[in-house]
Structures are given as structure tokens and as C-alpha cells.
Amino acid sequence: IETNIRGTEVALAAAARYGKRILLTSTSEVYGKSSKVPFSEDDDTTYGPTTKQRWSYAISKAVDEFLLLAYCESHGLPGVIVRLFNTVGPRQVPHYGMVIPRFIQQALAGGPITVYGDGSQRRCFAHVADIVPALAQLIENDAAVGHVVNLGSQEEVSILELAERIVAKTNPSVPIRFVPYERAFPQGFEDMARRIPDLTKAQRLIAYQPQKSLDQIIEEILEMEQQDS
């Protein structure tokens, strides 16, 4: 909480002081447990109670967004907020969850692949090489100043299907193990069932169109893993 909020405050104050533009990378977590499909930037957010630590990330990133918008409003700071949805790519470390590098490393080690819950939860994964140029374009874009913009992909996949695709591309004899949520996470953890970005705003501002499909992403990560090992 302190890292998110204090760090952002320091960066915003410095940008305002030296007359610099700033781009805040926020997260799709900010939508909380809303079940709306797809998520649009102006949608309402829904969070769980403060006794569940899980929500502190979403809420502290939402505070960062409030801070940036307040700096735009009261200091004329040219700032843009981007909400990233499951960005992945070669050499991503499997810490803090990160399902694709985890599944790939598990598969290459002979398994098992750990699917949390029943694997029916769905996500959209975007390649970092589609996201980074979009960030560079958005920070330069005057029409994006003072705005929140979603970035990600709309190609949806269930986590079980993701595991099956990775098994098929690595070693079909690797087992998939279902791990109950209560064993994978602290008690009371709530996973998002679906998370799809509405990309209309990014398309309007920078003609954003992700190029890499999920299969291309998985194959590229696999190639890199094999080169590195």
C-alpha cells in the first residue's frame, strides 16, 4: 500500500515540479469484482471488505488514479492513466501468480500443471510487445491527458483451456492438477471469473490493435525458455 501510494505521490510531485508528462500504469484489478463484460473505463467498481487484504492492491492503485487526476486538475499536470490487463511475454518471472510463465515452467519440468479452482475462470492475455509501444504513444497523446485508458487483448481463454494448450505444445503426458482455491490462496480469496477490456478508447486515441494471438505468445515464450535452458 505504501509502495503504491507514496511512490506515486513522489513521482507526481516531481513531474508537476519539473513540468514533465507522466503516465501511470494502473491495473484491471481496479474494476474489482464487477461482473460486467467488457470493462469500460467509466464503469463502477466493486470491492470486498478491508479485512480481506486481497483488495488493498486494487484500492491502492485506485488511490493512485485519484491522485493523478487531482494533479491534472489542480496543477495542470499532463498525466495519463493506463489500466493493464494480464500483460505477458518472454522471461516474465512466475512470481505473484503469473499463470503463463508458471504453467510453461511446470510443463517443461514434467508437471503437474496447477489449475486453481475448476479452471473455468477466463482471462485475456496481451503480449508486452503490443503494450509497450501503446504506452509510448499514449504518453505523447494530448487527447489522452486526464484520461483512463484500458490496454490489453480481447482474445479470451479459460485457465483450463490455457493449461491444455500449453500441455499440447510441450508434452502431452504432463498431468493437470486442480488445486482448490482455499489451498492456493489465503482464506476468503476471491478470483475474478472473467476480465475483458473494452478497448474502444485506446482504438480511438491511438488506433490500438494488438497483433499477437495467444498461440503466438505461448510459442514465443516456449522458444525463449528453450533457448535459455
Active site residues: 57
Stretch that binds ligand UDP, among 51-59, 66-74, 114-122, 137-145 (CB under 6 A): 114-122
> What mask of x and - would describe binding to ligand UDP in positions 177 to 196, judged by CB under 6 A?
--------------x-----
- DSSP category for residue 174: P
At closest approach, how far in Å is the CB of 183 from ligand UDP?
A: 11
55 counts as binding ligand UDP under rule CB under 6 A = no
Rg (CA), the chain: 19
Q: Using the 8-state DSSP alphabet, how is residue 209 labeled?
A: -
157 binds ligand UDP (CB under 6 A): no
* 22 vs 64 by CB, closer to ligand UDP: 64
Give the C-alpha separation, 48 to 190, whole Å: 9
E strand map for the chain: 22-27, 79-84, 87-88, 113-116, 122-124, 126-127, 148-151, 156-158, 176-179
Q: Please, how many CA atoms are within 13 Å of residue 3, restricted to the half-sphere of its CB?
A: 2
Nearer to ligand UDP, 98 or 139 (CB): 98
| Binding range to ligand UDP, per CB under 6 A, among 7-15, 31-39, 92-100, 129-137 | 92-100
Distance CA 53, CA 78 (A): 32
Q: Which is nearer to ligand UDP, 26 or 121 (CB)?
A: 121
Q: Does residue 133 bind ligand UDP (CB under 6 A)?
A: no
Q: Which is nearer to ligand UDP, 10 or 37 (CB)?
A: 37
| Binder of ligand UDP out of 21, 54, 75, 102 (CB under 6 A) | 102
Give me the residue label for grid cell 507522466.
22
Q: What gap in Å lies between CA 224 and CA 161, rounded to an integer?
A: 22
> Residues interacting with ligand UDP, by CB under 6 A?
86, 97-99, 102, 114-116, 121, 123, 159, 191
